Each structure stands twice: as structure tokens, then as C-alpha cells.
Structure 1
Amino acid sequence: MSCLAEDPKAVSSPARRWSGLWMKNKKAINNVLFAMHLQSLPKPPKNSHPVSSSPQSIKAQDFAVPVPVSDRTSLLADETLLYILSKLPDSQRNSNSLVSKRWLNLQGRLVRSLKLLQWDFLVSGRLFHRFPNLIHVDLVNGSVVSPRNSGIFCSNNAVSFHVDSILNPNDNGSKILLGSQEIDAGLEVLANGYPNLRRLSAMNASEMGVLSVAEDCPTLQELELHNCNDQVLRGIAACHNLQILRLVGNLDGFYKSSVSDVGLTILAQGCKRLVKLELSGCEGSYEGIKAIGQCCQMLEELTICDHRMEDGWLYALCYCWSLRTLRFVSCGRIDRRSSEFSEEIGFCPTLERLHLEKCQLRDGSSLGVLFSVCQEVREVMFHNCWGLDNDMFRTALIFRRVKFLSIEGCSRLTIEGLEHVLLSSKELRSLRVVSCKSIKDSETSQALSALFSSLKDLKWRPDTKSLVSATIAGSGMGKRGSRFFRKGCDWKSLPGA
């Protein structure tokens, strides 16, 4: 018989893993990190001689204990770590910049767009050290002298700021805006620091400030100027590669300036590569719009916001041969029929989209002139337009090729005027009617219902009652409850289960 027995400790002990052995051996990890650190150090010259060649010194150099590294990312090159940070979502940008000063600087190199809030941050040069690779800078809010302790806060789509008292429109923004000379000095510093700037928003600049940006930033493609006038447009004309331009001449209660036909003509002769143009609070007439249409032959989108133009300017739109989108926003009036241009009226052959938003449609004749110029459109939108009634909407019969029609927030339009136009639109494919309280479901005719069934896309919610009925349609609610709440019913047999 054999007296040998198995060791109980050997049987019960679990199998050791390589990961456990590796994590327990911290000395091996330190040796690996020390080797990586030695490879990154520069090599000594070949002709250099050691100071001491004793065996004790050589042994001390060969077997020196490496210092543990607390920040493992310090072993990575800036380019490698920058590539890793660029792959992280933007929501982690602020938290990543708090890790260390190095991460703060690297994260600043990834920022491309910035809205400036303090003007001193620009003129002191800290902006360039913190964010060296910006291509989009918004200086509008930084151009406002805003007291932080004030309890009065003014907000607009363009700018938000605090004020000490109620603004006086006659002050022309002089009390709360930085001076033109200070703005020009900041624009010159900005242009020198960012020669690859592509998008810029500024306020209260002069001709020299815009000219410095145009000369030092040849890749500038998008420009937005607030409180500008005809003289400022001379500097914009030097931006030969400009494609998107927004001009804000007047902002009620904040500032007031003038952009007339003189400035529009200068703009048209200088910026011939414009693709999108927005005129907000600008003055002008037939001659200014005609010059833009003849010179800016690549113009595809024109937005008119709160215009102060003279009567007859709509007739000049026929010179915009490449125009595809025409948008009106917050316009108190569109135009009036003028006998001077009645014989020269034409239309835009390439126009595809006509959008009217927050406009007051008071005159049916001016709306008829607009529809005549835009008779070839495929997409028409009326959003929150006051005064649009059945008589005015009937003038839309001229849109024979419209395929998409959207009506929202037009309370005076009824089902009678809507049906008269829809039944005449033979190419209509999409319809959207939302928040029009005078349009009732009960007044829908069979012909209109048949038209709805032939559409590819339909959104019909003219009032709250229609919204509720459309929500519960097909759910079976409103019927006898015994069908749903009888004892022992099978939930799989319920509608929608």
C-alpha cells in the first residue's frame, strides 16, 4: 500500500491568473515605464566621456530605481493625446480641461468656434494663447458695455445684455456700445492673430476695421455686421471670397443706422461671389436690389427682415437669375403696387421656395405683386402671418407648380379659402396646416377629403380639437368600457397591443 497522500492546500487553492500576478508586481510596471522614459530622452554625444568609470558608479547607473509616474498620459506626445481628445464628445470638453494645465491647453487647441463676452480678453492677447485655432468668432456681445449688477436685462435674437435704465432710441446705442475706434483696434488684433478666420460677427465697426479683416483674412467666407451703414460697406467690398453676408441696419430700441441703395450698389460690385444675403432693417429701393441681382449672379438665397425699403423694390427681383429661396421675416409690409413699374413686372425663373414668417399682410395688391414675381415656386410657407384671409389667399392660385404648402398660425383663414386654392393645385404632394383656429374639421368637403387621401405627406392639426381627435383616432376610446375592462380580458386582444 502506498502511504502517499495529496496535499489539501494544492487541491483547494484556485488557479492563479497572469493579470493578478502582473498587477501585484508593481516593480515590473515601474521598470517598463522607466524604459519608456529613457527612450524618450535625447542620446548623449558619441565623443562624451563619463566622469567616473568606477564599477560602483556603473552599477549605480544600471540598477537605479525608477520613480513612479503619477500621470500616465504624460508619456504620450501632444499629437497623440490631441487626437484622442478630438474623438471625445463635446459634452466632456469642460470636464477634460480641468484635468491639468496640459489638458487645458490641448483642449483649447480643439475649439474652433467662440462667442466673446469680454472685450479685454481679445485686446490683451489672452484669446490667442487660450484658443489658437479659432475659425469662427462672435464679437457682438463683447461689444456691449453691460453692467453686471443691473437688474434690467434686454434680450434679442442678436444680442443680450444688462442695462442701467431704459434705452432711449435717440441715443443710437452710444451709451452701451463700444466706440468704433476701439472696435477697429480689436478687429485688427483679431485679424493678425487668426489669418485663417472664416466666420465673423461684429458690431459698430467702421470701414477701416472691416478693411483690416478683409486684407488679413483672405479665407473669410461668412460675415455678420450690426449697426452698419453705407460707409462700412466699402470695407466689405474688399472681401472678395465672401459667400454669406448678414447686414443689420436698425434694431428698434437699441441702435439705428442707414443702409441705402448706395451701400447696396457698393456691396454688389465688390462681393460678386455671394450665395446667401440677409438684409435686416435696411433701406433701399429698386436700384439697390437690381444692382445686387445683376452683379451677384451666384446669389441663391435672399432674406428680408424688417425692411424699410421704398415701394417698387419687388420688381427688381426678376434680375436675380439664380435665386432659389426668398424669405420674409418680421416685415410690417411687403410692397405696394407701383404704376411706374407695372409694365416691367417679371418673375424669377429659378425660384423654388417662398417663406413668409411673422409678417403683416395688410394689402392684397402688394401680396399679388409678390406672388406674380414668385409664380414658379415649388414650396410655399405662411407661418404666423397676421392678416392673411380668404381674399388674400386666393391670389395664391397663380402658384400652378407648388408641391409643398405649409400654413401655421394664420387665424383668419377659413376652410373656404383653403379649399379654393388646394383644389386648383394639381401638383400638390405635401400639405401642413397647424394652429389655424378658423379652419374646422366639420366643414371639410368630400372633394377636399379625396385630395387628402391622394397626398404623400399630410399634417392636419388646424385647432386643438383636431389635435385631440387625431391623437385618439384608432385607439377605440369613446366606446363602451365593458369591452376593455371586462373581467379576465386578454391584453393581447386590445387595440394597439
Structure 2
Amino acid sequence: MSHSTEKNPNPSPNHSEIKTPSRSKRPRALSLPDIWLKEQDLKYAFVKMHLKSVSSTPSHSPLTSSSHPNLQFLQSLSIDPPGPDYFSHLSDELLLQIFSKLPISQHVSNSLVCKRWLYLHGRLVQSLNLTDWSFIESGRVFLRFPNLSDINIISACIRTSKNSGILVTHKSLSVHVDTRLSPTNGFVVQNDDLVPSNSIDQVLELLAEKYPNLRRIVVVGAREKGLSSIANECHTLQELELHCCGDLSLKGISACQNLQVVKLIGSINGFYSSVVSDIGLTILAQGCRRLVKLELSGCEGSYDGIKAIGQCCQMLEELTLCDHRMDGGWLAALTFCGNLKTLRLQSCKNVDSGPGSPQHLGSCLTLEELQLQGCQLRDKQSVEALFLVCENVREIVLQNCWGLEDDVFGLACICRRVKILSLEGCSLLTTGGLESVVLSWKELQRLRVVSCNKIKDGEITPALASLFSVFKELKWRPDSRFLLSSGLAGTGVGKKGVRFFKGLKP
């Protein structure tokens, strides 16, 4: 056996050579960090070698911890040494105080750090919009979020296809629409799409038991039994929003002594339909006497229902009617609302189909603000009755109302104490119609005119201009097309045909 002593003329970087250490230089003693790094290098090399051997293993042989005991070592091996967990020495109460000071946008990312932080994050959440019915029914929501005070379960109660690419939204309600629906059914939520009422009642009983400090709840399709459990257990409940509820369901909230805000959505075109009439309004009025705000959307009723609310709910300050189905004559009942300050009509096809004679209407003496948004004001008699009832109003807001012509807007001269006027999207109102009303209001201090295209700057009279100079606030942007053309002056945009492209010819 012979040993070759010939030297390699081109040694490679990976080629190892045997060298005798020089006597003049002694090897440096290894320090503790060097020893640790060498151990980590050995472990890293071992991992590489083992992974290579595992990858060459036949596919039919299972890789289990019993057949490969070193897999346990691979799973527990960490190249970077773990640092000390200083947060483990802090109590939950102290961590909750720290997390509460952080922005809400960071709460979700903080909850992903560890299980303890996930649990603490759940204790911080107080408002939740649930979309999964099984998450409620199984009780997992109570373990994950034990301190809820505001809960919305509408999306969870409507069982529609979540994989659908069509999402129909109406204010606070969003529903995924099944593409297999026939054109005759449209987007209407069928009875089969709602969770059964008995299941909803059972969930409401659980919510009342687990969250006795609830302050707000939004629910759809609830009945008297489920609402009674909420009323009996949640004594601090202040705001309630009911969708697709009937008259008899309102018996369940008669025990809500501290209820201040109620929204009743009886019917929404294209979604669902239920009936809330004078019976339900009377039940509500007799049970919830501390109401401050009431919103009726798609509800039926008449003079009797509004009168009952005015007589029983003497603290009522704000009344909103959205797409109402009220019978004629309901306006006269507003005089019984002795503390009403804001009246808001939204998306109403008519104000009052039969207001009656002006001598029997009366007026709401405490009313300060009147808002009309997206309403049809073609009926002069009903508009005149509305202004008569609201003759003491201080602020009038008219937004995107159809049929608001000069003679209809001229009926507002009855309200002589107006201090604030806001007009937006009133496309039929002219400068002369605005001037005739504004000049008659001696106490007017603030004026806002936006997107009223028939009101022109060139038609402003000296009397109207002098009135503008004494206003405390003036926002004058009536003609959006004029503002666009003035902003593009000198750019050439808007010119016709060859005259515009003349400079672009080769």
C-alpha cells in the first residue's frame, strides 16, 4: 500500500490538506460563543445530511416518528436560540391595559402572536358582526368573545350562498344572491333562506344568558319568546334593531325599561316583507316609554299609531320614517309628540295622501329640524300640510327630492323662523324660486346650495346678493356643469370636432 506525496498544483477550495501547526503560533483557545457556534454548525450540517437521506427514501415508506426517530429532533430543532418571554411575567389585567392603548387596527395582528394574546384580544372586543350561524349555535362565540356589548346577527340568520359573486346591499343589510334565482323571484329573500324562528329564539336566549350587559343588538325574524328573554335578562339594553318582524313580536320588548333607540324594518323591497301596523306601534309605545329615537322603515300605520307613540313616549326627540306605508292623516298626530326636535323623511313616495283641512292639523311646537331625503314632493297639498305642522322649524334640509318646483318650494314661506337652509340635487328649483323664499326669512343665517343646475350665478339679483353678504355661512355651488367648464377653461376640452383636433393634424 503506497502513499502519494505529490502536491496538487491547483488546489480547490473544498480540498483539505494536512498541515503541521507551526511552533511559533499557538492555537487560540475556544471561547464559549465559539463552542456554541460550532455546535450549531454541526447541528445544521446534521440536519442537511438527514434531510437529504429522507428525500432519497422510497415514496412507499411512511415518514413517521417511529420509523425515523430523528424527525422529533428536526421538529424541535431551532437554529436561532429562543429569547426570554418577558410578557409571561405580566398579568392579564396589565396586558389588557396595554392592548387597549394600541390602535384597533393592530388588535388582529397582535392576536396572532400566541394563544394567550388571542384570548386577551377576545376580551377586548365589544362589538361584533357575526356571519356564521354555526359559530353562534355551537357556543364558540361565547368562549372567543366573552365581553360583547354590541352584536349583529343578521348576516348569520340569512342562509344564502356565500360563494355567489353578487352582493346586494341596502343600508346596513347585505345579502349574497344566488345566481340560480328566476327573474320572477328577483332578489327576494325567501322563507327558506332564513334560519327557523325557533332556532333564532334559542340563540337569543343564549345571548341573553351569556351577555347580560348587552347595549345593542340587531336581529332578523325574531319572535316574542326570544325578544322576551333579551328584555328580561339584558337590563342595560339601549338600542334595538329588528328586521322582518311583525306586530306580535313587539310584545317581547315591552319589558325593556331602558330602551332608548329602536329601529323597526318591516318591509324592504327586494328583500323581505312583514307587517308592522298600528297594533305594533301601540304595543311598542306602551312598553318602551323612554324612547329617544325611533325609526320606522317600510312600516304601515296611521294617525292612531303615531298618536300612541306621541302620548306614551314623551321623551321622543327624533322620528324617522323611511319608505312608509302610512294611511292618510298621520301628519296631524305629530302634535302629540311634545318633545320632538327632528323629523326625517327618507325615500317616501308621498308625504301624506290625505292630510285633511289645514285648520285641524295643528303644529309641532318643539320641532327644530326637518329633513327630506329622496322623497317625492309632487303633491302640493301634502307638502303644504307638512310645512304647516313644522312651521316652527329652525333648519330645513332638502336633498334629491323629486318634484320640488318653484311653486312647491314657495310653500316653505310658512316656516318664518328658519335659520339654516340646505339644498342639494334640487334640479327643478330656479333662482327666482329660491329668492322668493329666502327673502321672506328674516332670521336666515346659513345657506347651502349644491348641484341645483337651474340656479344660475347670472340671475342673482342685487337684493339676493346683499343678503348673501350678511350670512354667517354660505356654500354656493349650484351649477356643477358651470364649475366644470370654468375649471377646464383654456385646456381646449369641450370644443367640437375639427376645431379641437386642428392642432393635432400632421
Normalised-by-shorter TM-score class: 0.7 to 0.9
d(CA) in 1 for partners of 2:229, 2:82:
53
Are the equivalent residues in 2 in contact too, given 1:294–1:320 (CA < 8 A)?
yes
Counterpart residue type for residue 166 of structure 1: L
Task: Write the distance in 2 (CA, Å) between the matches of 1:397 and 1:166.
Answer: 50
- Which residue is equivalent to 1:15? none
Alignment match, 1:307: 324
Once the two structures are TM-superposed, the CA of residue 471 in structure 1 deviates from its matched residue by 7.2
2:286 pairs with 257, 269, 272, which one?
269
Counterpart amino acid of 1:426?
Answer: K
Match of 1:166 in 2: 181
Paired with 2:230 and 2:132, the residues of 1 have a C-alpha distance of 20
Distance, in Å, in 1 between the alignment partners of 2:222 and 2:186 is: 19
Q: CA deviation at 1:171?
A: 7.2
Matched, 1:416 2:421: no
CA RMSD of aligned residues (A): 2.0
State the TM-score, normalized to the length of structure 2: 0.78
> Percent identity of the aligned residues?
57
How much has 1:72 moved relative to structure 2? 1.4
Which amino acid is 1:404 matched to?
Answer: I
Against the structure 1 CA distance between its residues 172 and 126, is the aligned structure 2 distance closer, same or farther, given a 3 Å change threshold? closer
For the residues of structure 2 that align with 1:297 and 1:470, how far apart are their CA atoms?
Answer: 52
1:371 is matched with which residue: 387, 405, 411? 387
Pick one of 244, 247, 252 that aligns with 1:227: 244
* Residue 171 of structure 2, aligned match among 140, 157, 160: 157
Partner Cα distance (1:173, 1:200) in 2:
23
Preserved contact between residue 100 and residue 124 of structure 2 (Cα < 8 Å): yes
Q: 1:132 aligns to what SS in structure 2? A: coil
- Contact 2:324/2:348, CA 8 A, preserved across alignment: yes
Q: State the alpha-carbon separation in 2 of the partners of residues 460 and 385 from structure 1.
A: 19
Q: Whole-Å Cα distance in 2 between the matches of residues 459 and 251 of structure 1?
A: 35
CA shift digits 1:204-263 (9 cap, x unpaired): 011111111101111100000000110111112221110000000001111111111111
Report whether the alignment pairs 1:141 with 2:158.
no
Check the 8 A contact 1:337/1:369 in 2, yes or no.
Answer: no
Distance 1:358 1:171, change over 3 A: closer
* Distance (whole Å) between structure 2 residues aligned to residue 221 and residue 270 of structure 1: 14
Cα distance in 1 between the residues matched to 2:200 and 2:241 = 14
C-alpha distance after superposition, 1:378-410 (max 9, x if no partner): 010001111100010000001111100000001
Match status 1:256 vs 2:273: yes
Residue identity in the other structure for 1:327: R
Paired residue type of 2:431: I
Please give the alpha-carbon distance, in whole angstroms, between the structure 2 residues aligned to 1:398 and 1:361: 16
* Equivalent in the alignment of 1:283: 300
Distance 2:358 2:144 in 1: 59
User: Contact conserved, 1:429 with 1:455, CA < 8 A, in 2?
Assistant: yes
Distance 2:402 2:434 in 1: 16
Q: Distance in 2 between matches of 1:465 and 1:451?
A: 25
Which whole-Å CA distance do the structure 1 matches of 2:307 and 2:328 have between them?
14
Mapped contact 1:169–1:254 kept (Cα < 8 A)? no
Letter in 2 for 1:256: S
Is residue 441–residue 466 contact of structure 1 (8 Å, CA) maintained in 2? no
* CA-to-aligned-CA distance 1:66-121 (integer Å, 9 cap, x gap): x9853211111111111000000111111111111111111111111000001111
Alignment of 1:334-353 (within 5 A): 334-339=351-356, 342-353=358-369
Shift of 1:149: 2.5
2:347 matched to which residue of 1?
330
Corresponding residue SS for 1:192: helix
TM-score (norm 1): 0.79
Quote the Cα distance in structure 2 between the aligned partners of 1:442 and 1:372.
Answer: 33
- 2:419 matches 1:400: no
Aligned in 2, Cα 1:438/1:136: closer, same or farther, shift over 3 Å? same
Rate the CA distance shift 1:338–1:357 in 2: closer, same or farther, 3 A: closer
Q: 2: CA distance between counterparts of 1:149 and 1:294?
A: 49
The answer to whether the aligner puts 1:104 opposite 2:104 as a matched pair is: no
Counterpart Cα distance in 1 of 2:487 and 2:339 = 43
- 2:101 is aligned, of 87, 97, 103, to 87
Amino acid at match of 1:370: L
What is the rounded CA distance, in whole Å, between the counterparts of 1:221 and 1:470 in structure 2? 51
Q: Which amino acid aligns with 1:87?
A: K
C-alpha separation between the residues in 1 aligned to 2:217 and 2:99?
A: 26
Aligned pair count reads 408
- Choose 375-384 or 330-339, whichever is displaced more: 330-339
Q: 3-state DSSP class of the match of 2:175?
A: strand
For the residues of structure 1 that align with 2:487 and 2:188, how far apart are their CA atoms? 53
Stretches of 4+ moved more than 6 A in 1?
169-172, 469-472
Q: Which secondary structure does the structure 2 equivalent of 1:175 belong to?
A: helix
Contiguous gaps of at least 5 residues in structure 2: 1-32, 34-80, 491-506
Q: Name the aligned partner's letter for residue 337 of structure 2.
A: C
Unpaired stretches in structure 1, ≥5 consecutive residues? 1-23, 25-66, 479-497
Tell me the amino acid that sits aligned with residue 244 of structure 1. V
AA in 2 matched with 1:105: Y
Q: Residues 350 and 426 (structure 1 numbering): CA distance in 2 closer, same or farther, change over 3 Å?
A: same
Displacement of 1:170: 11
Q: 1:461 to 1:161 in 2, by over 3 A?
A: same
Offset at residue 295 of structure 1 (A): 0.5
Query: Is 1:190 aligned to residue 207 of structure 2?
Result: yes
Residue deviations 1:153-194 (CA, integer Å, cap 9, x gap): 322213212232337279763021111111111111111110
* Alignment-mate amino acid for residue 231 of structure 1: L
